[in-house]
Structure 1
Amino acid sequence: MSCSRLFKCLPVMLAGITLAAASLPALAAGPEAPPGYFALPSYQQPANPTALDKQLLAIMADYRVVGLSAAVYRDNKIIWSGGYGWADLNTGRAVTPATLFRVASLSKMVTATALMQLYEQGKFGLDDDISSSLGYQVRNPHYPAVKITFRQLLNHTSSIIDSGAYDAIVESTPALLPALDIKELLVPGGQYYSAATFAPQAPGTCFNYSNFGTGIAGSLVEKISGLPFAEYCSTFIFKPLGMDASFEPADINNWQNIATLYRPDGQFIHFRPTKDTYTGIKPAPATITAPLGSALGYSPAGGLRASTTDFAKFMQAHMNGGSYNRIRILKADTADLMHSMQWFGYSMDGFYKQKGLNFHITDDLVPGRRLIGHSGEAYGLSGDAYYDPDSRIGFVFMLNGANLNNADPFYRVENTIAITLLAAFAPPAANLSRELRAKVNANFITVNGRKIVLPAPAAITRSGKTQHLFLPAVATADALAAGINQQGDTVTFTQGQKKAVLTAGQNRMSVNGETLLLPHPPYRQNGQIFVPVRELAAALNISTRLRL
């Protein structure tokens, strides 16, 4: 079925889906569930199922999904939402669009937003030493003279990693976290200090995905604001956006509708509850005894509870330059900065290739689309919240248990759901023409109205009557929505089947093996390789208009 035909079959606005008593055919029966595990019952289906309902339920059956909630948004509106399957296998409680989930690493976008609100107030600079705000010195013992910065925490290049005592505590004794002073992990002589907490690479030089780094970012929110982390996020993010969400489950009005998370057995037949098993009893408030400035008890890296429809409000605010329904949580420049490519490379088996400030920039979730957002996976939860800046359509979905095998680099169930949702509601992916506005020595450019902050100022040269724009390679990839890789002085850009290879100091470019001459060679300056934007865009078949 084509995208246009499927779109016509679907209602454009749905507050949710009403479940009927009728159910789908039972899932394949298996042996009796062992103690502590639950069998997966057949799914209930909507009273008048649409083509999309049937597709999603079929995907759930294929991947043994316990429950699925999803929302699709455009501009400032949720244009569709749905819930399927089970929020609680013990009681038979169904998932609805209002079901809340522990959203795992989607939380990192919220933590980064909280910290960047304080950045807007001039409380710190992104390249400041975090020690100045923490009140004690934090150094990688392998590089004691190199500062660790706010920017590095948010783009995962701080060299602080999920190892040493932090990882052991999270895995084995998480009850310690509400009482844990992070200074004991970060400063030599601390009770839990270990050199293994720090990578052997210098801060700023290597990407290491770090939950602890985001925990430190949340702790900095406390240090700088003077408020407990959960209270700060509720006051300045969730309440303004009208979200019933919190890093403190006891503060959630709709706590009865928090989904239990499940992990499957080895055969994906039975499911074991792992998190949020409240059994009808309201969760007690966390007892945080750690000093202010130690927020690990709130799990800033993964502990947010929110529904997909509420989290979509947060994502719409980011997609719309920091504002949702006239409620501004960030300045437009700050939102653009967070979404600008800050790092590129190859990490976690290729899952991370481009990163903003705790925002993931990916071409791998939906083929042909560059998406901005984040994914999450913990305790059996798998979820994604991304938007397409070209079509201005985004989605949020959560699974509370599923077959999460076959990652390349996303789990296959994630790819399948994301592709299905965008096929239903987004126009076909297109090579959108890009209008770039730049000025010589400016520290930013705009691309179709979106500001991209440059790591080094733009440069403009002339060849006869033609002006040539040179930008740092990372900003060029961001502006053209191209893939990028770099080895020494050689940078490779990709777009579809096109591959262009440029080397600093050489006035030629290889495009799919063919050599093209350049009027001016790329060059290295201020630690960046500058590349000619017009010529590169033409080589990659990307339509551009330069306003210089």
Structure 2
Amino acid sequence: MVSNRLGKYLAPALAGIVLILSLPTSPVQANQLEPPPGYYVLPPYKLPANPTDLDKQLLTTMEKYKVVGLSAAVFNERKLIWNGSYGWADLATDRTVNTETVFRAASLSKMITATALMQLYEQGKFGLDDDISQYLGYQIRNPRYSDVKITFRQLLTHTSSIVDSGAYTTILEGTPALLQEIDIQDMLVPDGQYYDPGTFGNYAPGTQFSYSNFGTGIVGTLVEKISGLPFDKYCTKYIFQPLDMSASFEPSDIINWQNIAVLYRPDASLTSFRPTKDNYNGTKPTPATSAGALAHSPAGGLRTNSTDLAKFLQVHMNGGMVKQHTRILKPDTADLMHSMQWFGYSMSGFYKQKGLNFHITDDLVPGKRLVGHSGEAYGLSGDAYYDPDSKLGIVFLMNGANLIDANPYYSVENAIAKTLFTTFAPKASNKPKQIKAKAGASFITVNNRKIFLQTPVSIIKTGKKQLLYLPAITAADTLSTGLEQTDDTVTFTIAESKATLTAGQASMTVNSKTLPLPQAPYIQNGQLLVPVRELAAALKIKIIFSLSLSGYTPH
């Protein structure tokens, strides 16, 4: 799960923080005061036998932010490049993190859950804009908008109006064991035992973004209903086993269960930590008592290690396939999942662009448009993202840390991600983006990646010129820019440059200058279409166009 990234532990964490800016030559001595009952002191880290510069940088960051344990991996489209592990998996037993240490991966799980559902989508078993009620076997409606259907696409983009309040939060915070037994129908239909109108937001489905763990629980339930398999068993059979991942949504199925990391929260002094989750004390986890998807937490219950998560992200980077013989998704399905489906401003700006349960962000590493997901729950914090341009990806998982200064990522996340990309990213090629578009098509290609549109490609011929007009959301996806919209006006941002366009106005404002357009942006099928070539030129983005008028209809 991802909580409010401003952090409910922010205020107490600000007291007593000590920053150590360089790795000492001998282990740092932790505060030896007696910890509060139920807490453990964070001891000095064990240094690698021959620490590299990267080891030293990561250990310095860990000391600065009081990270309990860290596992990280770096990969490209062909192989795992590097992996490292540091710190403590279990403070009570002094068990250290190693390359096989398994973490409860929090909201990184959502990428797996979405992939499971999209495997069924590409088999033709549902449409993204279908009413989910047809597949669950009972009707789900926001009681304030009873005539508006709730769709698969809305669940995967957190726009369904099913929110993390009402029944789900009440049960999770009060009697979480009930999720092992409850039928999700009892939370969603008016005559259900646990129904609460507060489960639904005060807005129509499809009109607003609200990050919803419960919504992803419903995605897991849909996987069960459509496939006929329990959610955890489906993911094992069709994702984990084909990719040779040591992973499961059922911790008792983890062969290496003794190496599951305990999750921790810090006290106010940041010198000691209390266990919050996966503290099995040498006893094998007990299997869930229910086969229902909620019992396995599709939103956050994945257990896996960093190198296996790298395998999964590598598959998505490669259009659904790894090692030329293992395919879990068709290329078009993978591209669809990574295409920008929603944009806006949510969770204090943490979410600005979203695919189908894949996060699209410019904020983790400066100058990098990354695709993937973050996670935070019970003390776990971590990130799994890749750069579609450089074909480099990173995964890192921490089982406890000082989570402060969210802007919008926590400072420790920015520091680790920047270190890994700085160390391993290839030199920027500065090659222009290659865009291919055909009038009337449902997609364009950008550097061989398909971006799918909800309104057809529009190529307008004016004299000898061909003007490519795309929906604003597709233009932002194509050019890797930020995007804001107010009514019929959109603003695209990249680095320090801004370009603002308005429907019906044959000019745009670029960094306070007004530039003419050959034709004004216009509304079609509810989408604001903007001129991509002119926009790219104004923002100094290098583009090579290949446009086809086949199927062209004059605008």
TM-score of the two chains, using structure 2 as the length reference: 0.93
Determine the structure 2 residue equivalent to 1:313: 311
Alpha carbons 2:30, 2:41 under 8 Å: kept: no
Determine the structure 2 residue equivalent to 1:277: 279
2:493 is the alignment partner of 1:486 = no
Determine the structure 2 residue equivalent to 1:214: 216
Determine the structure 2 residue equivalent to 1:427: 426
Alpha carbons 2:99, 2:307 under 8 Å: kept: yes
Give the Cα–Cα distance (whole angstroms) in 1 for the partners of residues 456 and 159 of structure 2: 22
Please list, as runs of the form range in 1=range in 2, the aligned pairs for 1:353-432 lying within 5 A after superposition. Answer: 353-429=352-428, 431-432=430-431
Alpha carbons 1:24, 1:42 under 8 Å: kept: no
Determine the structure 2 residue equivalent to 1:262: 264
Determine the structure 2 residue equivalent to 1:521: 520
Amino acid at match of 1:425: F
Number of residue-to-residue matches in the alignment: 523
SS at match of 2:47: strand
Structure 1, residues 79-138: CA drift from partner, whole Å, max 9, x if none? 000000000000000001211100000000000000000001111000000000000000
Alpha carbons 2:246, 2:308 under 8 Å: kept: yes
How far off its partner does 1:172 sit? 1.6
Determine the structure 2 residue equivalent to 1:93: 95
Unaligned ranges ≥5, structure 1: 1-21
Match 1:71 to one of 61, 70, 73: 73
Cα 1:501–1:335 change in 2 (3 A) is same
Determine the structure 2 residue equivalent to 1:351: 350
SS at match of 2:394: strand
Give the Cα–Cα distance (whole angstroms) in 2 for the partners of residues 440 and 73 of structure 1: 37
Amino acid at match of 1:79: I
Amino acid at match of 1:461: I
Alpha carbons 1:27, 1:61 under 8 Å: kept: no
Determine the structure 1 residue equivalent to 2:34: 32
Give the Cα–Cα distance (whole angstroms) in 2 for the partners of residues 212 and 35 of structure 1: 33
Give the Cα–Cα distance (whole angstroms) in 2 for the partners of residues 82 and 23 of structure 1: 20
How far off its partner does 1:285 sit? 1.4
Structure 1, residues 407-439: CA drift from partner, whole Å, max 9, x if none? 000001000000000000002456541111000
How far off its partner does 1:173 sit? 0.8
Structure 1, residues 466-516: CA drift from partner, whole Å, max 9, x if none? 111000000000000011000000000011111000000000000000000
SS at match of 1:547: strand
SS at match of 2:138: coil
Which stretch has the larger CA shift, 299-308 or 279-288? 279-288
Determine the structure 1 residue equivalent to 2:444: 445
How far off its partner does 1:364 sit? 0.2
Amino acid at match of 1:519: P
Please list, as runs of the form range in 1=range in 2, the aligned pairs for 1:214-233 lying within 5 A after superposition. Answer: 214-233=216-235
Alpha carbons 1:69, 1:82 under 8 Å: kept: yes
SS at match of 2:438: coil
Determine the structure 2 residue equivalent to 1:182: 184
Give the Cα–Cα distance (whole angstroms) in 2 for the partners of residues 364 and 253 of structure 1: 36
Give the Cα–Cα distance (whole angstroms) in 2 for the partners of residues 286 and 195 of structure 1: 28
SS at match of 1:438: strand
Alpha carbons 1:108, 1:358 under 8 Å: kept: yes
SS at match of 1:46: coil
2:506 is the alignment partner of 1:507 = yes
Amino acid at match of 2:76: R
Unaligned ranges ≥5, structure 2: 1-23, 548-555
Determine the structure 1 residue equivalent to 2:299: 301
Amino acid at match of 1:267: S
SS at match of 1:240: coil
Give the Cα–Cα distance (whole angstroms) in 2 for the partners of residues 431 and 510 of structure 1: 26
SS at match of 1:79: strand
Amino acid at match of 1:175: A
Alpha carbons 2:309, 2:395 under 8 Å: kept: yes
Which stretch has the larger CA shift, 322-331 or 445-454? 322-331
Amino acid at match of 2:530: V
Match 2:119 to one of 98, 112, 117: 117
SS at match of 2:396: strand
Alpha carbons 1:106, 1:302 under 8 Å: kept: yes
Determine the structure 2 residue equivalent to 1:84: 86
Alpha carbons 1:101, 1:259 under 8 Å: kept: yes
Which stretch has the larger CA shift, 24-33 or 221-230? 24-33
SS at match of 1:44: coil
Alpha carbons 1:66, 1:87 under 8 Å: kept: yes
Deviating 4+ runs (over 2 angstroms) = 427-432
Give the Cα–Cα distance (whole angstroms) in 2 for the partners of residues 193 and 432 of structure 1: 54
Alpha carbons 1:431, 1:542 under 8 Å: kept: no
Amino acid at match of 2:52: T
Give the Cα–Cα distance (whole angstroms) in 1 for the partners of residues 135 and 27 of structure 2: 58
Give the Cα–Cα distance (whole angstroms) in 2 for the partners of residues 178 and 253 of structure 1: 22
Structure 1, residues 34-53: CA drift from partner, whole Å, max 9, x if none? 21000000000111110000
How far off its partner does 1:222 sit? 0.3
Give the Cα–Cα distance (whole angstroms) in 2 for the partners of residues 319 and 341 of structure 1: 15
Determine the structure 1 residue equivalent to 2:21: none
Alpha carbons 1:97, 1:307 under 8 Å: kept: yes
Alpha carbons 1:390, 1:432 under 8 Å: kept: no
Match 1:131 to one of 130, 133, 140: 133
Determine the structure 2 residue equivalent to 1:156: 158
Structure 1, residues 270-311: CA drift from partner, whole Å, max 9, x if none? 10000111111111211116xxxx411000000000000011
TM-score of the two chains, using structure 1 as the length reference: 0.94
Which stretch has the larger CA shift, 24-33 or 141-150? 24-33
Please list, as runs of the form range in 1=range in 2, the aligned pairs for 1:241-252 lying within 5 A after superposition. Answer: 241-252=243-254
Give the Cα–Cα distance (whole angstroms) in 2 for the partners of residues 384 and 321 of structure 1: 20
Cα 1:199–1:179 change in 2 (3 A) is same
Cα 1:27–1:465 change in 2 (3 A) is farther
SS at match of 1:207: coil
Alpha carbons 2:30, 2:43 under 8 Å: kept: no
Alpha carbons 1:24, 1:44 under 8 Å: kept: no
Determine the structure 2 residue equivalent to 1:43: 45
Give the Cα–Cα distance (whole angstroms) in 2 for the partners of residues 454 and 74 of structure 1: 28
Amino acid at match of 1:108: K
Alpha carbons 2:251, 2:303 under 8 Å: kept: yes
Structure 1, residues 176-233: CA drift from partner, whole Å, max 9, x if none? 0011111111000111111110011100000000000000000000000110000000
Cα 1:254–1:146 change in 2 (3 A) is same
SS at match of 1:184: helix
SS at match of 2:93: coil
2:60 is the alignment partner of 1:58 = yes
